[in-house]
Chain A
Amino acid sequence: MVLAIMATAVLMTLIAGGLIESSAALRSTHNYKNATQAIFAAESGVLDAVKTINGPGVVNYQTEVVDSWSTVYGSGSRTFATGSGFSYSVSPVTTAWDAADPSNRGTLRAMAMGPRQTTSAVVARVLRSNVPGTSPGAIYLANDNPTDADFQGNSFSIDGSDMNFTGGPGPANAVPGIATRNATNTEETVDSMGGAQLDNVTGMGFNPGPPPTPSVKTAPAGMSEAQLSQMVDELLQRPHAPCTDAVINNGSSCTYGTVEAPQITYLSNPGGIVVQGNGNIDGAGILIVEGGLTIQGTLDFKGLIIVRGPTTIDYDSETQVSGDATLYGALWTSDLSLDVGGTAIVQYSSEALALADQSGGGGALPAPVQIVSLGDCAVIPSGTGGCP
């Protein structure tokens, strides 16, 4: 009897031990699975952040990403996928590596949280690419508020296909003829065009029809007005040619760069600039215009034109001369008005945008960042390399 009880007790102990052991093993397996999934979630967080940064691209990583993180990405946690139980947050951290060149280098730390208090952290080193990103469109209406595009007449051509200003097609993929910040502005732009004008806006997504579908697309990843403003501020930190004239006519002495020496030109009159009938802008590089740009004379430009205000091409009733604008590259403006009197050609050109990128000492255009290394903080000593 005693023997039987002892045997039963031993057996029970063995069973209990086995159950505890298997339960621990099961928990361990769960933890391992959660930890692995947490690493994946953290890595996904890094990719998400890099994708967000690369939407508009970067001129200066420190000011446009690190200092503006709360608006660029935000410090809150994001749900990984509905029902997965994982979330992640990403933040820029400073390490010795990126402190050596804060304009071009950075470190991102992603923390992932999962079930059973599972946490994981990864750090990624990112480096600004030397290859500038593309423009959202041949014309980019960088306006978060409703735009009021106006197309009069049929004497304009807006083309998002890549063409070289030296002749022939360029190597880059086509972009939209006109890109906007949101669907409302895309619709407004298309609705502003009449039947005969629809085939004047070509590029990515253009369909000759009939009826033609103009190449007008929404580019939500393009620069917001605030980001564009910041980019302009960055560019103006570089060497540039200022021009304070409010009116550009044949008496104007401003210079606008050449193909051999492209430059950043800053037309700074806050009330906007009028290129009068006898005025002429002929240049290359980046042209930054404050207030608005009205072209009643001639504008021939290769590169990027940024207008912090509306762009208008119309007719000078005094001189009886109509504005003619030819731009190879891209135009970023807050609004657009093409009058029946003027003629306009805006042709996307990666070759011309390369001139813009060379301006002001080089690397002037927003470029994407690339991940150059990715580390799991589980195997990196705590407090080093950006790990917590």
Chain B
Amino acid sequence: MSKCITSWAVVSAHRAAVIGALALVAATVSPVAAEQQRTSCPAGRDASCICWTENGIAKVSCTSKRPAARVATPTSPSDQSPGHLAAASRISKEPVDADPPQLGSMTDEERRTYLQKRQDDLDREVLAAQRARFLARAAGKTDEEVEKLGRTFKDLQQRRHANLSRLHALGSAE
């Protein structure tokens, strides 16, 4: 009997300790009142994005997802599906010579950051398209397929140069 009472006491003490610890953690983690303030999004953000600051930290939430910036390197000809070059196609659909629409309202510094980021993306995408074209040729894909990949590559290359020229104009090209 006394053993039973002792075990009950130990279990109860343990439960109480766990509940207390959880309460302490919850009190520490959850802010009493998070200070939120809506702000305008930096130029270059998608129109669906909402930006705000929370306790001084900038936050952003977008409803439409942007394609991944990094394009996976194809490891086999079968990897060269149109989906593989999805990001490349997105950029390909933009006019080559026109400034990206987001640039208009940016400061020079924002513009430089934006263009540099875009340049990095384009570098990766050009290399992915170049490799895809090479592997397609090596794998004996049809001329039509190779030509299509070649067009994508050339198009991306032009965009890359156009972007590079803009960066040069800002005096910050690598």
Interface residues in chain A, defined as those with a beta carbon under 8 Å from any beta carbon in chain B: 152-157, 163, 165-169, 194, 196, 259, 282, 300, 302, 315, 320, 322, 324, 326, 328, 340-341, 343, 345, 347
Contact = CB atoms under 8 A, between A and B. Distances in A.
A127 B26 CA distance: 75
Given A163-B75, A341-B164, A322 B157 contact: yes
Contacts of A196: 120, 174
A328 B75 CA distance: 13
Interface string B62-96: 00000000000101111100000000000000000
Given A165-B135, A169-B75, A343 B127 contact: yes
Contacts of A165: 134-135, 138
A300 B137 CA distance: 9
Nearest to A301: B134
B96 to A, nearest CB: 12
Contacts of A169: 75
Contacts of B174: 152-154, 194, 196, 340
Residue among B138, B139, B153 facing the most chain A CB atoms (10 A cut-off): B138
Given A154-B174, A322-B157, A167 B120 contact: no
Interface of B: 73, 75-79, 119-120, 123, 126-127, 130-131, 133-135, 137-139, 153, 157, 160-161, 164, 173-174
Contacts of A315: 161
A194 B116 CA distance: 15
24 contacts: A153-B174, A155-B126, A157-B127, A165-B138, A167-B76, A167-B78, A167-B79, A167-B139, A168-B75, A169-B75, A196-B174, A300-B134, A300-B137, A302-B138, A315-B161, A322-B157, A324-B157, A326-B130, A326-B134, A328-B138, A341-B161, A343-B130, A345-B134, A347-B131
A343 B126 contact: yes
A166 B134 contact: no
A137 B78 CA distance: 27
Q: Which 3 A-B pairs have the closest CB atoms?
A: A167-B76, A155-B123, A326-B134
B145 to A, nearest CB: 14
Contacts, number: 70
A33 B1 CA distance: 84
Contact of B127 (A163, A302, A328, A345): A345
A340 B137 contact: no
A194 B126 CA distance: 20
Contacts of B153: 324
A259 B164 contact: no
B159 to A, nearest CB: 12
A300 B149 CA distance: 14
Given A153-B123, A340-B164, A326 B139 contact: no
Contacts of B134: 165, 300, 326, 328, 345
A322 B137 CA distance: 20
A166 B120 contact: no
A196 B130 CA distance: 20
Given A155-B127, A343-B123, 11 more contacts: A156-B127, A165-B134, A167-B75, A167-B76, A167-B135, A328-B134, A343-B130, A345-B127, A345-B130, A345-B131, A345-B134
B138 A343 contact: no
Contact of B76 (A168, A282, A324): A168
Nearest to A325: B130
A194 B135 CA distance: 29
Nearest to A153: B174
A296 to B, nearest CB: 12
A347 B74 CA distance: 13
A341 B126 CA distance: 12
Nearest to A302: B138
B174 to A, nearest CB: 5
Nearest to B161: A322
Contacts of B138: 165-166, 259, 302, 328
A196 B174 CA distance: 10
A322 B162 CA distance: 12
A320 B138 CA distance: 27
A347 B160 CA distance: 22
Residue among A196, A320, A343, A347 facing the most chain B CB atoms (10 A cut-off): A343
B109 to A, nearest CB: 18
Contacts of B131: 157, 326, 345, 347
B127 A166 contact: no
B85 to A, nearest CB: 15
A149 B84 CA distance: 33
A169 B76 CA distance: 8
Contacts of A345: 127, 130-131, 134
Contacts of A157: 73, 127, 131
B130 A166 contact: no
A153 B126 CA distance: 13
B120 A154 contact: yes
A185 B119 CA distance: 30
A315 to B, nearest CB: 8
Contact of B157 (A194, A259, A282, A343): A343
B29 to A, nearest CB: 28
Nearest to A168: B76
